[in-house]
A and B are shown apart, each in its own frame.
Chain A
Amino acid sequence: MWIIAQIFINAIIAGSVYALVASGLTFIYATSRIFHLAHGVVILFGAYIFHFVWVEQGLSPALGVLFSILGSVAIGLLMNELVYEQQRKRHAKRLAYLISTIALLMLGTSSIILIFNTSLKSFNIQTTVYRFDQLNITLMQIILIVISCFLLLILSAVVKYTKFGKAMRATSDNDEVASIMGINTRQIRRLSFGIGSLLAAVAGILIGLEFNIDPNMGVYLAIKGFTAMVIGGVGSIGGAIFGAFLVGFFEQIAVWYFGAGWKNSIAFVLLFFFLLLRPRGIFGLKRFR
C-alpha cells in the first residue's frame, strides 16, 4: 500500500515541474499558435546557467537564479523574434513552425553539448529527509512543490485580473479582431514568450536541484509538457496543470511496473490515446482561460 502513496508523492513532485513547463507552453501557444518544442532548450539553458554560476563559478545562488532567468528569457525572446516572427510575416503553415521549432531544439541541444559537454551535472545538495513510516519526502521536494504552486497561482491571477491578461485572452480568442481593437498582438506574443521562458528557467533550476541535468532532458521535457497540454485541452492553463500531474502519475506507474527504461515513452502513449479518443483533452475548452 505504501508504494502507491510513494508513487503519488513522486508523481506530485515530477508533476509540479511538468506543470511549469506545460503552462509555459500553453501561454506561448495561446497567443502564437505555435507548439514551441524548443522550449526544452530554454529549460536547458536555465538549468545550465544556474549550475555554471553557482557551482562552477562559486557565486551566490541568488545571482545564479537571476542570470538563469535573464538568460532563458533572452533566448526565448530571440527565438520568437528571429524565427517565428519572420515566418509569421510570410504566413507560414503550421508545419513550417513545427520544423523550425525542431531545428531550434536540436540547435540548442547541440550548443549545450558543445559548451558544457554531455556529462551529467548535479548540485549535490544536502537536504533533510522526512520519513513517515515507509514514505520519504525531502525538504527540497517540498520547497519545489511550494515554489511551483506559488508561481502557477500568480500566473492564473495575472491572466484573470490584469489588463495584460485580458489582452492576452483576446489575442488567444481571435488575434485579428484583437489587433483591430487596438491590441498590439506582436507585443502580447513577446510578453507571453517572456513569461513562458521565465517559467522554463524556474523549471530548469528546480529540475537541477532535485534531479541531475543532462543535455537530452530538453527534448523529453518539451514532449512531456506538450503531452500535458494536449491531455488537459490545448489552451487551458488549468488543464495543462492537471495534464502535467497526470503525465507525472502515469510515468511513475510505468517506472514502477515496467522499469525506468520506459519512463520517457509513456508520455507518447498517453498522447496517442488522447489524440485518438479525446482530441479536445479533458477540459476541452475552446477558449484560453
Chain B
Amino acid sequence: MFAFLIYILTLICIYSIIVMSLNLAMGYTGLVNFGHIGLLGVGAYTSAILTTKFDVSFIFAITFAAILCALIGALLSIPSRKIKDDYFALLTLGFLFVSGAVFINWTDMTRGTLGIRGIVRPEGFAEPISFFVLTFIMSLVTFFILEKVTNSPFGRVLEAIRDDEQVAESLGKNIDRAKMVAMTLSGFFVGIAGVFMAHFIRFINPASFWLDPLVISLAAVVIGGLASLRGSILGVILVFTISESLRFLSLPSTMIGPMRVILFMIVLLVVILFRPKGIIGRADLD
C-alpha cells in the first residue's frame, strides 16, 4: 500500500510539471499546444536513448533532453505568428502525430513499438522513495520558477497576448519574442518531465506518448483552471484521484484504460459547459 502511494505521488509530481508547463503556453499565453505530449515523448526518448545506448550520465541526459525540447518549443512558436487559435492548435496536434510516427518508425534508435526497456534511475535515487523526493523537489522548483515568471511584468505581457494580441502589440510589446520565450520555457520543463517519466517507469514505448496522456493533461489544465499554476496542481490531483478510484471497482484490466478516458472526458465536458473557468482559473474559455 505504501509503495503504491509513493508510486502515485511520484506520478502526480511528474504530471504537475507537465500540466504547469502546458498551462504556461495554453492558459497564460493562449497558445493551445496539443503537441505538448510529443515534446514529453522527445524528452523521454532522448534521455532513454542517451543513457541506455551511449551510457552518458543522468545529469548530461536531462540537460541535453531539456535543451532539445526547449529548442523544439521555440520552433513550434514560430508558425504562431501567422497561424492563430484553433489552426495553431491543430498544427501542434500535427507535431504530436509526426513525433509519434518517428517513435514508431525510427526503429534503429527507438526500437519501434517494442519500446525501450532497462532505463535505470540515476545513481543514489534507485529506491522509489528517494526518486520520489527528487521528483518532488523538481516539481517544486518548476512551480516556483513558473510562479516567478508568470507574476513578473513578462507574465503580464503573456496574459495580454492571450487576451488581445493586437492591444499587446500596440503597447509596444514584442509579442513574437514573448511567445517564443513562453514556448521555450514550456518545452524545457516538459522535456524535464519526460526524462523523469522515462527514468521513473523505466520503460517507454510510442503508446506512452499518444492521445491518452494528452487528454489527461488537457483535462487537468481545464478542470484546474487556465492561467493558474495552483489550479493545475489541483487538477492533476483530482484527475489522479478519479482515475485511481476506478481500481476499487475491480473492473477487468482491459476496461480500465477506456473507462478512465471516458470519465476524464465527461468531467472535462461538464467543466467546459458549466464552469469554463475551471476550479480556480483566472482565464476563461468563453
Name B211's contact: one of A98, A219, A275 (CB within 8 Å).
A219
State how many angstroms separate the Cβ of A268 from the closest Cβ of chain B: 3
Asked if B94 and A272 make an inter-chain contact with CB atoms under 8 angstroms apart, the answer reads yes
Residues of B within 8 A of A99 (CB): 32, 218, 222, 268, 272, 285
Q: Which residue of A has the minimal Cβ distance to B261?
A: A110
Q: Which residue of A has the minimal Cβ distance to B83?
A: A275
A35 proximal to B (CB < 8 A)? yes
A240 proximal to B (CB < 8 A)? no
A69 proximal to B (CB < 8 A)? no
B116 proximal to A (CB < 8 A)? no
B269 proximal to A (CB < 8 A)? yes
Asked if A103 and B215 make an inter-chain contact with CB atoms under 8 angstroms apart, the answer reads yes
Residues of A34-58 whose CB lies within 8 A of B: 35
State how many angstroms separate the Cβ of A218 from the closest Cβ of chain B: 11
| Per-position binary interface string of chain B over residues 79-109, scored 1 when its CB falls under 8 Å from any chain A CB and 0 otherwise | 1001101110111011101101100110000
Residues of B within 8 A of A92 (CB): 272, 276, 285-286
Q: Which residue of B has the minimal Cβ distance to A215?
A: B258
Task: Kindly state the separation between the CA atoms of A94 and B90 in the bound complex, as whole angstroms.
Answer: 12
Task: Kindly state the separation between the CA atoms of A120 and B285 in the bound complex, as whole angstroms.
Answer: 38
Name A107's contact: one of B261, B285, B286 (CB within 8 Å).
B261
Task: Kindly state the separation between the CA atoms of A87 and B276 in the bound complex, as whole angstroms.
Answer: 10
State how many angstroms separate the Cβ of B249 from the closest Cβ of chain A: 13
Name B98's contact: one of A87, A103, A219, A268 (CB within 8 Å).
A268
| Per-position binary interface string of chain A over residues 85-110, scored 1 when its CB falls under 8 Å from any chain B CB and 0 otherwise | 01100111111111110111011011
Asked if B101 and A262 make an inter-chain contact with CB atoms under 8 angstroms apart, the answer reads yes
| Per-position binary interface string of chain B over residues 187-220, scored 1 when its CB falls under 8 Å from any chain A CB and 0 otherwise | 0000000000000000000000001000100110
Q: Which residue of A has the minimal Cβ distance to B113?
A: A261
Q: Which residue of B has the minimal Cβ distance to A117?
A: B254
Residues of A within 8 A of B255 (CB): 114
A182 proximal to B (CB < 8 A)? no
Asked if B94 and A103 make an inter-chain contact with CB atoms under 8 angstroms apart, the answer reads no
A271 proximal to B (CB < 8 A)? yes
Task: Kindly state the separation between the CA atoms of A108 and B226 in the bound complex, as whole angstroms.
Answer: 25
Task: Kindly state the separation between the CA atoms of A272 and B91 in the bound complex, as whole angstroms.
Answer: 6
A212 proximal to B (CB < 8 A)? no
Asked if B98 and A265 make an inter-chain contact with CB atoms under 8 angstroms apart, the answer reads yes
Residues of B within 8 A of A104 (CB): 265, 269
Task: Kindly state the separation between the CA atoms of A241 and B101 in the bound complex, as whole angstroms.
Answer: 26
B262 proximal to A (CB < 8 A)? yes
Asked if A279 and B83 make an inter-chain contact with CB atoms under 8 angstroms apart, the answer reads yes
Residues of A within 8 A of B91 (CB): 268, 271-272, 275
Chain A facing B: main interface SS: helix
A3 proximal to B (CB < 8 A)? no
Q: Which residue of A has the minimal Cβ distance to B255?
A: A114
Residues of A within 8 A of B273 (CB): 83, 86-87, 100
Residues of B within 8 A of A276 (CB): 79, 82-83
| Per-position binary interface string of chain B over residues 245-258, scored 1 when its CB falls under 8 Å from any chain A CB and 0 otherwise | 00000000011011
Residues of A within 8 A of B93 (CB): 223, 268
Asked if B258 and A102 make an inter-chain contact with CB atoms under 8 angstroms apart, the answer reads no
Asked if A35 and B90 make an inter-chain contact with CB atoms under 8 angstroms apart, the answer reads yes
| Per-position binary interface string of chain B over residues 164-195, scored 1 when its CB falls under 8 Å from any chain A CB and 0 otherwise | 00000000000000000000000000000000
Asked if A107 and B265 make an inter-chain contact with CB atoms under 8 angstroms apart, the answer reads yes
Asked if B285 and A114 make an inter-chain contact with CB atoms under 8 angstroms apart, the answer reads no
Residues of A within 8 A of B34 (CB): 102
Q: Which residue of B has the minimal Cβ distance to A259?
A: B105
Asked if A100 and B86 make an inter-chain contact with CB atoms under 8 angstroms apart, the answer reads no
B129 proximal to A (CB < 8 A)? no
State how many angstroms separate the Cβ of B146 from the closest Cβ of chain A: 21
Task: Kindly state the separation between the CA atoms of A131 and B79 in the bound complex, as whole angstroms.
Answer: 46
State how many angstroms separate the Cβ of A276 from the closest Cβ of chain B: 6
Asked if A91 and B286 make an inter-chain contact with CB atoms under 8 angstroms apart, the answer reads yes
State how many angstroms separate the Cβ of B262 from the closest Cβ of chain A: 5
Asked if A110 and B82 make an inter-chain contact with CB atoms under 8 angstroms apart, the answer reads no
| Per-position binary interface string of chain A over residues 269-283, scored 1 when its CB falls under 8 Å from any chain B CB and 0 otherwise | 101100110010000
A18 proximal to B (CB < 8 A)? no
State how many angstroms separate the Cβ of A189 from the closest Cβ of chain B: 17
B56 proximal to A (CB < 8 A)? no
Other than the given A106-B261, A268-B93, A275-B83, 13 more pairs (CB < 8 A) read: A86-B273, A87-B273, A90-B276, A92-B276, A98-B86, A99-B272, A100-B272, A114-B262, A223-B97, A264-B97, A271-B94, A272-B94, A275-B79
17 contacting pairs across A/B (C-beta < 8 A): A35-B86, A92-B285, A95-B285, A96-B276, A96-B285, A99-B222, A99-B272, A100-B273, A102-B34, A107-B265, A110-B258, A110-B261, A110-B265, A226-B90, A262-B105, A265-B100, A265-B101
Binding site for A on B (CB under 8 A): 32, 34, 79, 82-83, 85-87, 89-91, 93-95, 97-98, 100-101, 104-105, 211, 215, 218-219, 222, 254-255, 257-259, 261-262, 265-266, 268-269, 272-273, 276, 285-286
Q: Identify the 5 closest CB pairs spanning chains A and B, nearest first.
A: A268-B94, A96-B285, A110-B258, A107-B265, A261-B105
